[in-house]
Structure 1
């Protein structure tokens, strides 16, 4: 079978900066849901990012946390004592959970009491990007955790790019890389997929199964020799964090200076550099200026605005 070249593979092109929606456009819809991915697509994002776990019966499901409390009604719906690990529930059980109402509840409280990523959400952004009809749907109890298969069907239908993060730690799901790749290959989407993980052993497993899918090294720590490390893994991109305790680029350092040299070395070697999770427009501008290939953001509208500014400046 002849595969189309994956534009996210190392050295594929002189890539301009991509707008990447973190867990979908999660500032404007419940994260990691089909409605969040649809919102990202409607906003004109180049790619969206999602997270994958395995259910108790081995179904790859799209959810960020390894436990269910933050974004679902698991306590009232399935009321089990102790920890609410996603992997302790079957796919059918997970499909009974409401993953939309929490988001509407967050928007109803003062900004400084919300989950951190929603604290900077502006009333003007709410008015521009979230309709009353959407809020009613989010609060209806009908928004569900999607399977990876359902999301890949959306990817195939729209032709968008997708970053699949394998959430293997701390649960260490047996066969996670293999089952995800089976779905990607069966849908014919190898050339539209970038797979990332903090568990870098899985990137080796992915590469053994496909020479077309792109892979990325996720990290919240500085790597001593990132170019050499990516080469050893046959990876295509470096995904460093850029905020708070996850900042490995220098924004939170004593000097506050961005590590532009490290980014330049990776780019010169042909690797992508996609930075997460950047919601601050001044930081976005700095990152675009030093040549990152992607900005992963909860607010992809802000990324698109910065990229539009950048292209206008370059053209003038």
Structure 2
């Protein structure tokens, strides 16, 4: 039941965690060690990552099912029939350039950038993305990390990690067991929160280890989510921002729904929240965490005086 001891003494004074989505991905290539290190700079307690399995079974950190958006895979392997993460060995994945795409994005006109970078301001770039950073990202030396490398960095930085288990459209047999094995081997049970849209994976984790926190990811509106969380013995709900009312015509937050889940003793960590006004409304409604591409904005809002209107 939330709050899991994982989160004890880690939240700020208001009890709202600043969770860096795929690392601080507005300011560094997503799901790379560079992005995770940026999260530390913004005072985050946790960063969120996505995990796939390579062809040889290695646990690899990457969001998309295919590699084309965030690597140079089509250049290095032009003759491959497809570019799913699971089509490549860990050695092949380790040789991909996972940083240059981000540097190229910042050189584009704002309206041509990927959607989450279109709200990145020139002031934010100047303050948080140095010339040295950009040179590093464009150097070809930024690679896809393994889960082990990522957890080692988290230990060094004293940060918690939200591991999202990816499955569909390709099922990874034994994914939950492999992740739990690694977490246990590194004695990080109380530093990890595992989430997934594949809720069977969460049950598999819970059956293996009662100490690892779990969170139910949803991208659609749910009925009796509190009962569902109880059924899965989960610790938190991770709803998409739009499902809480922001996707409606009136953009009216379902604050009572959040309250009901919180009253059942579960956490509510919302993805992906990049707008400060939305953050303020969610904090007032009682969420326990904000998963954001812009942890600098979360930090700013958390430090503001409390508001009472939603």
Give 1:77's aligned residue.
76
CA-to-aligned-CA distance 1:237-277 (integer Å, 9 cap, x gap): 000001xxxx1110121222100011000111110000000
Whole-Å separation in 2 of the counterparts to 1:23 and 1:308: 23
CA-to-aligned-CA distance 1:114-133 (integer Å, 9 cap, x gap): 00000000000000001101
Whole-Å separation in 2 of the counterparts to 1:159 and 1:106: 30
Residues 196 and 218, structure 1, Cα contact 8 Å, conserved in 2:
yes
Give 2:304's aligned residue.
309
Residues 8 and 236, structure 1, Cα contact 8 Å, conserved in 2:
no
| Alignment TM-score, normalising by the size of structure 2 | 0.95
Deviation at 1:157, TM superposition (A): 1.8
Give 1:185's aligned residue.
184
Give 2:196's aligned residue.
197
Residues 6 and 190, structure 1, Cα contact 8 Å, conserved in 2:
no
Structure 2 residue 97 is matched with structure 1 residue 102: no
CA-to-aligned-CA distance 1:70-119 (integer Å, 9 cap, x gap): 00000111223432101000000001100000000000001111000000
Give 1:241's aligned residue.
240
Deviation at 1:155, TM superposition (A): 1.4
Deviation at 1:136, TM superposition (A): 0.3
Whole-Å separation in 2 of the counterparts to 1:8 and 1:208: 21
CA-to-aligned-CA distance 1:153-172 (integer Å, 9 cap, x gap): 11122221110000111111
Residues 24 and 48, structure 1, Cα contact 8 Å, conserved in 2:
yes
Where in structure 2 are the equivalents of 1:1-316 lying within 5 Å?
6-8=5-7, 16-242=15-241, 247-310=242-305
Q: Which runs of 5+ in 1 are unaligned?
A: none
Residues 6 and 192, structure 2, Cα contact 8 Å, conserved in 1:
no
| Alignment TM-score, normalising by the size of structure 1 | 0.93
After superposition, the CA RMSD in angstroms is 1.7
Runs of 4+ in structure 1 over 3 Å off? none
